[in-house]
């Protein structure tokens, strides 16, 4: 053991100090590595495509300060955990996992990498280093419903839906309420396809709805099939996730689009500044996470104005799409007049509101 002389202590302290300075200098100069995990290929429309557009938007906004990487087409289940872990292992410091089925894998990996930040879209489990984020898709759905209610001639709207989870059911209900707020005779017919992405089945479902009299379609699935079918069969459609006017130049009335770019930019900036905290964000029109695509010129001016006014009211908090009286389609009252639904009740929604035809599958 060497004797500690005052000089050597001073020297050591200086060295440590210098080391600290250089480390923080590196931290400031090295771009933050941000990873994304996608459930489907990026494509040019749909859920994943919106997340990837947002990734590019964030990368552009923070040019030079971030490096991003995505892994696409990662199945939910056993494989997701490995991919998320690989990203964490390769030094990605903030990782966005963008599908509900990544929730438990994200939580598991986050425990093994306590210094890495994770953000999981659409789930409900959080941790010290796991935040969650989601959008109030139903706000856009309500607006879409207003357009559908004004444009339908048959008073039947067709809805192609993936899985009967609250997020999807909420959308169907919000759409129907929006529609009936301007057209109390209109009804919604739903076809479940039990898949997020299957253009063949989505198109078949759209055909079925058209043959049952629907003249405005919308969907909660991931492909452009419903829009293309509407274009081919000369009915209207309201797109979801992305603006699909390219696929339905005549059919698309408007679209409920997802906008994650501003949120990603904000979160990544917070991580760069060392101020990232696990949040639980459920943003809507106000936060800019939901935006309506430009209207088709066939939508009359007064309808466009009504939609824009309602959007402003939702954003300012003056109006909530689920304000009582609210009855389910069995006639039971779910919410008294004047009451506004709680977020908790929304997230557990397992009934159809008045105006939706049929029964929700697999409910007790």
Residues that bind another protein (CB under 8 A): 35, 41-42, 69-79, 81-83, 85-87, 89-90, 100-101, 104, 124, 163-166, 194, 347-350, 361-364
Q: Which is nearer to another protein, 35 or 355 (CB)?
A: 35
Distance CA 36, CA 28 (A): 22
Q: Are 356 and 187 in contact (CB under 8 A)?
A: yes
Question: How near is the Cβ of 48 to another protein at its closest, in Å?
Answer: 11
Nearer to another protein, 106 or 245 (CB): 106
For the bound state, the minimum distance from the C-beta of residue 334 to another protein, rounded and expressed in Å, comes to 15
Q: How far is the CB of 71 from another protein (least distance, A)?
A: 5
Q: How far is the CB of 82 from another protein (least distance, A)?
A: 5
Minimum Å gap between C-beta 113 and another protein is 12
Minimum distance from CB of 198 to another protein (Å)?
12
Beta bridge partners of 237: 217, 252
Are 34 and 94 in contact, with CB atoms under 8 Å apart?
Answer: yes
Rounded Cα–Cα distance for residues 141 and 41 (Å)? 25
Q: Which is nearer to another protein, 170 or 225 (CB)?
A: 170
Radius of gyration over alpha carbons of the chain, in Å? Answer: 24
Quote the CA–CA distance of 240 and 297 in Å, as a whole number.
Answer: 19
Q: What's the closest the beta carbon of residue 242 comes to another protein, in angstroms?
A: 19
SS3 string, the chain, reads CCCCCHHHHHHHHHHHHHHHHHHHHHHHHCCEEEEEECCCCCCCCCHHHHHHHHHHHHHHHCCCCEEEEEECCCCCCHHHHHHHHHHHHCCCCEEEECCHHHHHHHHHHHHHCCCCEEEEECCCCCECCEEEEEECHHHHHHHHHHHHHHHCCCCEEEEEECCCCHHHHHHHHHHHHHHHHHCCCCEEEEEECCCCCCHHHHHHHHHHHHHCCCCEEEEECCCCHHHHHHHHHCCEEEEEECCCCCCCCCCEEEEEEECCHHHHHHHHHHHHCCCCCCCEEEECCCCCCEEECCCCCCCCHHHHHHHHHHHHHHHHCCCCCCECCEEECCCCEEECCCCECCHHHHHCCCCCECCECCCCCCCC
In the bound state with another protein, the residue whose beta carbon lies nearer, of 41 and 358, is 41
Residue 73 or 316 with smaller CB distance to another protein? 73
Q: How far is the CB of 83 from another protein (least distance, A)?
A: 6
305 or 350: CB nearest another protein: 350
Nearer to another protein, 85 or 334 (CB): 85
In the complex, what is the shortest distance from the CB of residue 160 to another protein, in angstroms, rounded to a whole number? 17
Closest distance between another protein and the C-beta of residue 192, in Å?
10
Q: Which is nearer to another protein, 100 or 264 (CB)?
A: 100
Output 300 or 361, the one with its CB closest to another protein: 361
> Can you tell me which residue has the tokens 């990498």?
113
**């400031």: which residue's tokens?**
28
Closer Cβ to another protein, 57 or 72, answer by number: 72
């Amino acid at each position: 053991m060497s004797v500690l002389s005052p000089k050597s202590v001073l020297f050591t302290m200086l060295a440590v100090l210098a080391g600290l300075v250089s480390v923080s200098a590196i931290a400031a100069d090295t771009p933050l590595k941000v990873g994304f995990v996608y459930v489907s290929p990026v494509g040019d429309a749909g859920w994943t495509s919106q997340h990837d557009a947002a990734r590019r938007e964030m990368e552009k906004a923070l040019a030079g300060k971030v490096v991003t990487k995505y892994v696409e087409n990662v199945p939910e289940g056993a494989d997701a955990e490995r991919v998320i872990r690989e990203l964490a292992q390769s030094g990605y410091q903030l990782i966005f996992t963008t599908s509900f089925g990544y929730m438990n894998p994200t939580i598991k990996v986050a425990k093994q990498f306590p210094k890495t930040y994770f953000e999981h879209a659409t789930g409900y489990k959080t941790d010290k280093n796991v935040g969650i984020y989601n959008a109030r898709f139903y706000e856009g759905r309500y607006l879409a419903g207003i357009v559908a209610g004004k444009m339908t001639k048959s008073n039947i709207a067709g809805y192609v839906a993936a899985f009967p989870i609250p997020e999807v059911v909420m959308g169907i209900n919000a759409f129907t309420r929006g529609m009936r707020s301007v057209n109390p005779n209109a009804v919604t017919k739903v076809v479940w396809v039990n898949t997020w992405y299957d253009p063949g089945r989505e198109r078949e479902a759209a055909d079925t709805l058209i043959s049952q009299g629907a003249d405005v379609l919308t969907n909660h699935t991931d492909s452009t099939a419903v829009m293309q079918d509407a274009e081919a069969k000369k009915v209207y459609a309201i797109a979801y996730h992305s603006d699909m006017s390219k696929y339905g130049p005549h059919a698309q009335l408007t679209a409920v689009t997802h906008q994650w770019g501003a949120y990603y930019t904000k979160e990544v900036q917070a991580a760069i500044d060392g101020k990232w905290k696990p949040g639980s964000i459920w943003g809507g029109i106000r936060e800019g996470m939901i935006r309506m695509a430009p209207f088709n010129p066939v939508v009359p001016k007064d309808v466009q104005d009504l939609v824009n006014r309602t959007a402003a009211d939702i954003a300012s908090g003056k109006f909530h799409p689920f304000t009582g009286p609210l009855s389910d389609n069995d006639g039971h009252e779910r919410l008294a007049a004047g009451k506004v639904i709680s977020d908790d009740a929304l997230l557990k929604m397992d009934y159809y509101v008045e105006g939706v035809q049929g029964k929700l599958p697999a409910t007790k």
